[in-house]
């Protein structure tokens, strides 16, 4: 499969029209139709359902679209890395990260790096541990930021000095807001909003000291911001990490830490087989130097 043909296929999948895709690609409609037919012949399968008004992907087409997007992204990333191999350090660094205040350490490092090498570009992707590791494993990002208990053993990694603290995000007018800290029994009968990753990892269930099925979990989340809106609406109490949602000033929300204290370490990770660009090497060197790790 030629890269040019994959790009044509993606254009048709996006536009749901040969005519619209041809216009976008600046080629003739017959030429584009021939490319798609040859691609289907090469793969021995039908990629599109052809209707009167629009064309849609078959199950095989949906699979190819996902793979084609990854291939095109990898090619683009490789081109950036090759461009960076010049006397002036240029290119891009791709980072996927979960929500954690430890990202401030990366932000400081990135600022120092860009001051010395202003032609480097940073591309961020936010997601939970599953999202981060998937992009790492597929080579779509250079580095990932993972919050334990995420398994980092299959990667090379550095543990950052920052430690995340677990607690409860709640409205300032809620019953628990008068407490300085939260104990397990305080939550047993309340509507809870929980992190799917933390509950699956066993950290929170162990701290809660109760069979999870007996908890009143009204919602779960993978990223905290939207969950904080549920808290703000009075739907429940969110078990979460500190310093992600701003609870200062006139905020209607507040955060209370857990007792016994529950903490998570944060690691910056990369594939053991990773071939780094010069920009990524400099980034890693500065991470070690700036954080003394």
Task: Decide: pTM greater than 0.85.
Answer: no
Which residues neighbour 169 within 8 Å (Cβ) at sequence distance 6 or greater? 224, 227, 228, 231, 237, 238, 240, 245, 247, 253, 254, 255
Contacts 24+ apart (CB under 8 A), 76-79: 77/139, 77/140
Residue 52: per-residue pLDDT: 80
Dihedral sign from CA coordinates of 178, 182, 187, 191:
positive
pLDDT (0 to 100) of residue 199: 86
pLDDT in tens, the chain (293 residues): 789 999 999 999 999 999 999 988 989 999 999 999 999 999 999 999 988 888 999 999 999 999 999 999 888 888 877 766 555 788 899 999 988 988 988 898 899 999 989 999 999 999 888 899 999 999 999 999 998 888 888 999 999 888 899 999 999 999 999 999 999 999 999 999 999 888 887 788 899 999 888 999 999 998 899 999 999 999 999 999 999 999 999 999 999 999 999 998 999 999 998 888 889 999 998 888 876 65
Given this model, what pLDDT does residue 292 score? 65
237-241 and 191-195 as β-strands: parallel, antiparallel, unpaired? parallel
pLDDT attached to residue 291: 65
pLDDT value for 134: 93
> What is the structure's pLDDT at 121?
94
| Angle subtended by helix axes 18-25 and 29-43, to nearest 10 | 110
- The string over 72-96, giving b where at least 16 C-beta atoms fall within 10 Å of a residue's C-beta and e elsewhere, is eeeeebeebbeebeeeebbbbbbbb
The pLDDT score that the predictor gives to residue 12 is: 93
- State the pLDDT at residue 84: 60
What are the chain's domains? 3-81 (1.10.10.10), 86-162+265-291 (3.40.190.10), 163-263 (3.40.190.10)
The radius of gyration of the chain from alpha carbons, rounded to an integer in Å, stands at: 24
Looking at residue 7, what is its pLDDT? 92
């Amino acid at each position: 499969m030629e890269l040019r043909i994959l790009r044509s296929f993606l254009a048709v999948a996006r536009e749901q029209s040969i005519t619209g895709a041809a216009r976008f690609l600046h080629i003739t409609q017959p030429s584009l139709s021939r490319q798609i037919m040859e691609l289907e012949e090469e793969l021995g399968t039908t990629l599109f359902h052809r209707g009167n008004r629009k064309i849609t992907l078959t199950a095989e087409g949906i699979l190819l679209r996902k793979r084609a997007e990854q291939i095109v992204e990898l090619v683009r990333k490789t081109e950036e890395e090759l461009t960076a191999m010049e006397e002036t350090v240029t290119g891009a660094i791709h980072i996927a990260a979960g929500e954690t205040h430890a990202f401030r350490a990366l932000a400081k490092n990135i600022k120092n790096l860009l001051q010395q090498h202003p032609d480097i570009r940073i591309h961020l992707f936010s997601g939970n541990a599953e999202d981060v590791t998937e992009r790492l494993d597929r080579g779509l990002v250079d580095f990932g930021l993972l919050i334990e208990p995420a398994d980092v053993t299959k990667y090379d990694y550095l543990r950052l000095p920052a430690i995340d603290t677990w607690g409860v995000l709640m409205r300032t007018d809620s019953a628990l807001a008068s407490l300085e800290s939260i104990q397990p029994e305080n939550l047993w009968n309340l509507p809870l909003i929980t992190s799917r990753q933390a509950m699956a990892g066993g950290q929170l269930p162990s701290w809660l000291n109760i069979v999870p099925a007996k908890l009143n979990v009204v919602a779960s989340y993978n990223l905290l911001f939207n969950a904080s809106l549920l808290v703000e609406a009075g739907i429940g109490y969110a078990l979460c990490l500190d310093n992600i949602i701003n609870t200062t000033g006139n905020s209607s929300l507040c955060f209370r830490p857990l007792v016994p204290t529950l903490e998570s370490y944060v690691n910056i990770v990369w594939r053991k087989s990773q071939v780094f660009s010069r920009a990524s090497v400099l980034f890693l060197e500065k991470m070690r130097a700036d954080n003394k790790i």
